[in-house]
Structures are given as structure tokens and as C-alpha cells.
Amino acid sequence: MPIDPYILLLLGTVGLAALFPARGAASDVASGASTAAIAFLFFLYGARLSTREALDGVKHWRLHVTVLACTFVAFPLLGLAARGFVPVILSHPLYQGLLFLTLVPSTIQSSIAFTSMARGNVPAAICAGSFSSLVGIVATPLLAAAVLGGSAGGFSADSVVGIVLQLLVPFVAGQLLRCCGVRRGRAKRVEQGGGERRVGGFVARHKKVLGLVDRGSILLVVYTAFSEGMVQGIWHQVSPIRLGGLLAVEAVLLAVMLALTWYGAKALRFGREDRIVIQFAGSKKSLAAGLPMASVLFGAHASLAVLPLMLFHQMQLMVCAVIAKRRAHDAQETITVSAQPAASRTVVGTGTRSG
């Protein structure tokens, strides 16, 4: 099986951050570019999705409850079970970081990007990721206080403002632009939905651009996060043996969650598109949300505490990129196979008439 070019891009981005980490003003530029790319991504999704599709995504409560249960129940339980790896495989600080990553909310932009690549339910993915982040603002500090002990707790209103400004506002702006296009089209008595097609159609005609934004936003987040880790020197605080043990434990954790979300969603009788959402949104953790939370919960020890999250974040992106491509390939094969019988009947019918 050939290596996915996107995985090579991810590895190249990690290497670039290791050799040339963003420092000082460059770090501010990289962080700002990442924020802008994510905001533009949500604007495009808002402009592409019809209002009815967005409302259908909000109403899909069973899916959202399932994703939240995977994120804030199944993950923490597995994290608590990993205590058995201490101290043989994991040191206590690394285990604290591993346990913390299981409490972090799900990703948003990468879950949506992979769901779109795999031809899943994008409106539901947007809602699922947003709900997870909003719930995580409260749930993550409370869970950390319960399972990590100490005074870990509390959250900042700035986190809420950041989510609203970076994610929800651009999405709503795209929706408003689409709705205004619909109303203008109706006022001019064009064919039904003409205005919507002008806005949504423009985005649909530029799917390659949207795909570049999907992937580019993830690459920017990867570069920014690894640059920060290199600047803080967290790689020198862990021995290679402990690092290898941590990677092995995280690989098992990710494999278990990917299997649980996919086959568990099937057992709950979700359709294929919804199962894709549950798998990608329910098996991933947000580095963007975890980093600021860790700085509050762990203080001066935050650098080492977020190392498991940083490694897991890169691992999940690489693995999910392969899965998303495979899901898209399977969907294309299903469409091709379902179209073959109709084509065969046309050929047979033509032959009968000519005979």
C-alpha cells in the first residue's frame, strides 16, 4: 500500500518544526495564521451548508450524546485503567499527562476535515465538535479535579469567547451570507434556490480550495504546536525508553477508541455517514483546547503534562488521514457497484431491441 502523501506532509511539518521552530514574532505569526485558517474553514462550511442541513445536524441528539459519551466517559475510563502501566512502562508524570489527555474535548477542525474527506455527515460533525468543545470548557477542569486531585479546576471566560469568535461566528457569517443570497434570488424571481446556488455553488465549484484549507489548517496547527514544544525543550525531559512506552500505550488507546466508536456506532444502528462522524469526533482529542487548559491545571509542569497530548494528537491525525481516505475509497466503490446493474440492464435492453 503506497504511503499517503498527506502523511508525508504531516511528517515533513513535524520535521520542519523540529529544525526551524517558530520563535518570538514568528511564533505569533504562525499562531495567527492557524487561527485565521480555521476561521476561514468554518466560514466556508457555513456558506456551503444549507440552513436545513445545519438544523438537521443540531437535531441529531443521539449522535451528539454518543460522541460526548465517548469523549468524556469511555476515554477517561481507559485512562484510569492505564494506571496499571505505572511505573513499569510509564513514569508517574507521563501517566498524569496521559490521563489528562483522556479528559480533553474532541477536535473540531480536523474531525470535520476527515469527515468531509470520508464523505460523512459534515453538518453533524460541525455540531458534534462544537458541542464537545463547549462542554469541555466545564467538564475537563471538573474531571481533572476529580481524577487528578489537587486544586485542578476552574476555567476562563476567555475560552468561551475564543470558541465563539473563532468557530461559531465565522460559521454563522457563512450561513447568513447564504441566506441573504437566497432571499435576494427570490426577490428577483429567479428559479427556486437560485440565490443559494450562487453562494453554495461558488464554494462547490472550488472544492479543491476547500480541501487545501482543510489540510492546511491541520498542518498549521501541527507546526505551531510542535514549535512550542521544541522551544520549551520538553523532548529533553523524557528518556527514549519512556517515550517509546508512551507511544505504545497511546497507540493501543487510539486503536481501542477507533474500534469502539466504529463498531459501537454500528451496534447502535447508526448509518454509515453518522458512524464516520462518531469515529472521527469520538476518538480524537484537541491539542488547541488542551494546551491552555494544561497551563492552568499544571502550572510550571504543563510542558511535560502536554507531551502525551501532543504525541497523541499527531498520531491521531496520521492514522485518521489513512482511515478517511479508505472510507472515501469504499464509498466510491459502493457507488460504482450500485450503478453497474442499471448500466447492464440498459445494454441488455438495447441488445433485445436490435435482435
* 35 touches 220 (CB < 8 A): no
CA 292/CA 162 separation, integer angstroms: 11
Q: What confidence score (pLDDT) does residue 4 get?
A: 60
DSSP string, 284-338: ---HHHHHHHHHHHHGGGHHHHTHHHHHHHHHHHHHHHHHHHHHHHHHHHHHHHH
What pLDDT is recorded for position 210? 66
What does the pLDDT read at residue 155? 46
Query: How far apart (Å, rounded) are the C-alpha atoms in residues 116 and 239?
Result: 38
Whether 265 contacts 60, CB under 8 Å: no
Q: How far is CA 346 from the centre of its chain?
A: 43
Could you give the CA distance from residue 284 to residue 228 in angstroms, rounded to a whole number?
21
pTM of the predicted structure, to 2 decimals = 0.68
Cell numbers at residue 187, please? 426577490
Q: So what's the pLDDT on residue 193? A: 44
Question: What are the φ/ψ torsions at residue 29 (nearest 5 degrees)?
Answer: -65, -45
Contact 284, 110 (CB under 8 A): yes
CA dist 316 and 71 (Å) reads 14
Contacts of 306 (CB under 8 A, 6+ apart): 97, 100, 229, 234, 287, 290, 291, 294
- Unique residue bearing C-alpha cell 481507559: 78
Can you read off the three cell numbers belonging to residue 95? Answer: 501517566
pLDDT for 337 equals 66
Listed as ranges, residues in the chain with pLDDT below 50 are 1, 151-155, 182, 185, 187, 189-196, 345, 347-355
pLDDT at 63: 95
CA–CA gap between residue 61 and residue 323 (Å, rounded): 25
What's the pLDDT at 152? 47
CB–CB of 109/261 below 8 Å? no
Using alpha carbons, list the distances in angstroms from residue 144 to 53, 128, 294, 337, 344: 35, 22, 10, 49, 60
Q: Which of 316, 300, 286, 319 is nearest to 101 (CA)?
A: 286
197: CB partners within 8 A, 6+ apart: 185
Give me the pLDDT at residue 146, please: 84
Task: Check residue 85 and give its pLDDT.
Answer: 94
Q: How far is residue 97's CA from residue 293's CA, in Å, rounded to a whole number? A: 12
CB 258 within 8 A of CB 283: yes
Per-residue confidence (pLDDT) for residue 12, from 0 to 100: 86
Return the closest-CA partner of residue 167 out of 41, 34, 293.
41
- Domains defined along the chain, listed by start: 5-332 (1.20.1530.20)
